[in-house]
Structure 1
Amino acid sequence: MDKTSDFSAMSAEERRSYIAQTAGLSQKQQSLLCQEGGLSLEAADSMIDNVIGTYSLPIGVVRGLVVNGKEYLVPMVCEEPWVVSCAEKGAELAARCGGFHATYTGSIMISQIQLTKISNPRTACLKVLEHKQEILELANQADPILVSLGGGAFDVEAKPLDTEVGGMVIVQLLVDTKDAMGANAVNTMAEKAAPLLSKITGGKSYLRILSNLAVHRLARVGVSVSCDVLGGEEVVDGILTAHAFAYHDPFRACTSNKGTMNGASPVACATGNDIRALEAGAHAYASRSGVYRPLTYWERSVSGDLEGMIELPMAVGIVGGTTKTHPMAGLLLSIMKVTSAAELGMVIAATGLAENLWTLRTLATGGLQAEFVPSLERRLEQ
């Protein structure tokens, strides 16, 4: 089957049947997929406050995304036309050249405890580090299950801050959350350790919460696409010119990153992960140099081919939270056939890079409206 035209020409029911067969879904899973929204009012009421109903969004699927030699079906939940098609076409270009190669730095989250009313913050930082082992032991008492699975708090950092309301110390617990996103775990650990830290420093503890700038939890993905597959040297020139625009202009970089997250965020949404945390971390990471830059980077190889990469904070999980309470999230994770948070993170980042690849190619060869508006109008006429 052609990965674009034939699948798009199918009815929604035919596509669903194809995915069910390809992913090996059980009859129960197929029945869930047929339920519009896939979320009962009772389940919704257990997820958020003040529930009055549910709200459905389309589920699309990208076929043929190859990461580290494995081919994935990637579900995407979003409302914007063309997003799924862009990701799939970018994935197809990459697959023709061996696919994406990816690494993951580990499921490490940062938990922060703010200590105020400290006259000598730098001295207080030293005192905190002297009690590192005691702090870790206390923090890990907050989540013995995580510790039993090989995770938990494993390091302590402390830094002074000089602010307009006085000096303070920020203590950071580094926590391996394994296959969970881990927000609840790291928040609880911060609350558990706060009284001890107040005693050690003589300060008053205020905020005790995770950071969504997950710099120790990065998905790194690269791809090399031949000049011939892209359509020639002129196309490579166009992509690099478009990238240079984004790299040197934050107004363009913002839209470029929105496009990249068009690929990443719908996969996170489909799998029950926190898209607001993912977006916040991504855009903060894009500013880490002091200048807002694109999340992707593109360059020409010695042989004239296009090489690209993305590096994203990737605080996602496959257990706990919405992945457990929303039945559709569990089903879509099973369609992906990922077995760890690391694998999911790499697939999400690769989808973002695929999205950016095809978007830049399209912008460099005529524009998004010229490519997609006619097909959208044909769909609306049917």
Structure 2
Amino acid sequence: MTKQLRDIFQGFSKLSREERLQALKDVGVLHDSDVDYLAKGGLRDTSLGEKFIENVIGYFQIPLGVATNFRIDGKDFVIPMAVEETSIVAAASKTAKWIRESGTITTEVVGAEIIGQIQCAKVQDFATFEKQLLAQKNYMIEISNREVAFGLVRRGGGVRDIVVRRVPRGDGSDMAVVHVMMDPCDAMGANIMNQVCEFLKEPIEQFTGEKVTMCILSNLVDSKITRATVHITDIDADLAEKIAEASLFAQQDPYRAATNNKGVLNGIDPILVATGNDWRAVEAGIHAYASRTGQYRSITRWYRDGKGLTGVFEAPLIVGTVGGVTTLHPTAMMCMKMLGTTSANDLSRVIAAVGLVQNLGALKALTTVGIIEGHMKLHTKNLALGAGAEEREIPLVQKKLEEILAIRKRISLSNAIDVLKELRSQASQKL
């Protein structure tokens, strides 16, 4: 499979849609049923949508593409990405090719537990509350696993620990927050965690005499961190220095960090969407983790490593491969099959790697040609469409817009409208 995937990476972007589907089928990434499903436009029957949300009137479709050239932990991947923004798939593929030829991508997951929170908004004596609760900790873990999380326990997971935290209210008194630590195995774990927290509400009130005011999981899962590392050995020293300096900018300045992290999420979110995972939860966790020092910072860092360049992504990236949309929506199931990841940890590692690669591509562009040249060159088709160009006119408008971009270093919709008017005027004169 690895050699076959490597073979289709060459010139993949130049193929027609039909040829891309055939190539993916030839190497076993897609099957006949998948190709037929995609060729017919994917999911059309709204009955499934009715099961997901309320007041359904249809589907909002965004493009589904694949990023190529990714070799992660020694294994080749075709990366499904559901996204509407120009240049994301192209940049990921191009940067992955550079790394493939001149470096490596490695990943790991550190930790296993997600976090649930049980709040007691006002406690009379925090020290007494903590002592009473911790005395019953083992019992609460045991009954949670027996009565609620038994399915996870059978798969090797379940509630592992209970921790009590003091959180100042700001008025001189304290609230108590109980953290439930649970291994969700290959599920994202939100639903089962919320059930465990609700289940523990009554025992906590009985043991402490205090009132439980809220039960909910936390999306800041600093107890389970996904780490991806890119190391490039063959790189121009000046370029490596520029990328390291750009990274330092994002580490030190929250205004730059916000845009830097958005660029990382350009690689992460499309995979989350394609696989039916909760991108909102992942983003919330990543942004909270980026602020853990009291200042919002970059979730990636790049530094000179001898003559090479090393980059690291590190953040919570909690995903699932079972349950919910991931195993109900046919497109999500197809994308999961395309990736070939069998566990939530494996999926998390791949997603982190793509986010880091996307970040490298953006930093390279920013520190060399600038962000406009590459992005806007790919954006010319959108501008042509926005101007009202017909299918046969689009290549001509694109070519002229690229010429304008090369000279002026900027283009806009008004340029596309002017170009289209001129082309149509010339065509009418010939008639």
Q: Offset of 1:378 from its aligned partner?
A: 5.7
Provide the residue aligned with 1:174 in structure 2.
181
Pick from 97, 105, 115: which aligns with 2:102? 97
Provide the residue aligned with 1:269 in structure 2.
273
Distance 1:13 1:26 in 2: 14
Contact persistence 2:159–2:180 (CA under 8 A): yes
* Superposed CA offset, 1:274-308 (max 9, x none): 00001000111111111111110010012x21111
Pick from 148, 164, 169: which aligns with 1:158? 164
Distance 2:329 2:226 in 1: 25
Pick from 182, 196, 213: which aligns with 1:206? 213
Pick from 237, 242, 265: which aligns with 1:238? 242
Contact persistence 2:122–2:176 (CA under 8 A): no
Aligned partner letter, 2:230: V
Distance 2:117 2:241 in 1: 45
Pick from 243, 255, 258: which aligns with 1:254? 258
Alpha-carbon spacing, 1:135–1:35, altered in 2? closer, same or farther (3 Å): farther
* Superposed CA offset, 1:75-124 (max 9, x none): 01111001111111221122123421111124421011111332001221
Provide the residue aligned with 2:289 in structure 1.
285
Pick from 10, 15, 35: which aligns with 1:10? 15
Corresponding position: 1:372 with 2:378: no
Provide the residue aligned with 2:320 in structure 1.
317
Pick from 65, 75, 85: which aligns with 1:60? 65
Provide the residue aligned with 1:197 in structure 2.
204
Q: Which moved more, 1:112-121 or 1:269-278?
A: 112-121
Q: Offset of 1:162 from its aligned partner?
A: 2.1
Contact persistence 2:277–2:319 (CA under 8 A): yes
Pick from 131, 148, 151: which aligns with 2:136? 131
* Superposed CA offset, 1:232-264 (max 9, x none): 222112212211221221111100000001001
TM-score norm. by structure 1 comes to: 0.94
Distance 1:117 1:291 in 2: 29
Greater relative contact order: 1 or 2 (C-alpha under 8 angstroms, separation 6 or more)? 1
Contact persistence 1:359–1:368 (CA under 8 A): yes
- 1:112-151 to structure 2, matched below 5 A, reads 112-140=117-145, 141-151=147-157
SS for the counterpart of 2:297 is coil
Aligned partner letter, 1:157: V
Distance 1:238 1:246 in 2: 13
Q: Offset of 1:14 from its aligned partner?
A: 1.7
Distance 2:120 2:225 in 1: 28
TM-score norm. by structure 2 comes to: 0.84
Distance 1:152 1:349 in 2: 25
Aligned partner letter, 1:105: V
Alpha-carbon spacing, 1:38–1:318, altered in 2? closer, same or farther (3 Å): same
Contact persistence 1:122–1:160 (CA under 8 A): no
SS for the counterpart of 1:23 is coil
Pick from 210, 217, 222: which aligns with 2:224? 217
Unaligned regions of 5+ residues in structure 2, if any? 1-6, 385-393, 396-431
- 1:74-93 to structure 2, matched below 5 A, reads 74-93=79-98
Distance 1:260 1:252 in 2: 13
Alpha-carbon spacing, 1:33–1:107, altered in 2? closer, same or farther (3 Å): farther
Q: Offset of 1:198 from its aligned partner?
A: 1.1
Alpha-carbon spacing, 1:377–1:2, altered in 2? closer, same or farther (3 Å): farther
Provide the residue aligned with 2:33 in structure 1.
28
Provide the residue aligned with 1:108 in structure 2.
113
Aligned residues: 377
Q: Offset of 1:2 from its aligned partner?
A: 7.9
Distance 2:40 2:182 in 1: 38
Aligned partner letter, 1:236: A
* Superposed CA offset, 1:336-372 (max 9, x none): 0111101000000000000001110111111121123
Corresponding position: 1:350 with 2:356: no
Q: Offset of 1:205 from its aligned partner?
A: 0.9
Q: Offset of 1:21 from its aligned partner?
A: 2.3
Distance 1:14 1:75 in 2: 17
Aligned partner letter, 1:194: K
Contact persistence 1:116–1:203 (CA under 8 A): no
Identity %: 35
Aligned partner letter, 1:149: R
SS for the counterpart of 1:187 is helix
Provide the residue aligned with 2:403 in structure 1.
none
SS for the counterpart of 1:60 is strand
SS for the counterpart of 1:204 is coil
Contact persistence 1:107–1:315 (CA under 8 A): no
Contact persistence 1:323–1:330 (CA under 8 A): yes
Instruction: Give RMSD over aligned pairs.
Output: 1.7
Aligned partner letter, 2:309: L
Q: Which moved more, 1:157-166 or 1:43-52?
A: 157-166
Contact persistence 1:60–1:77 (CA under 8 A): yes
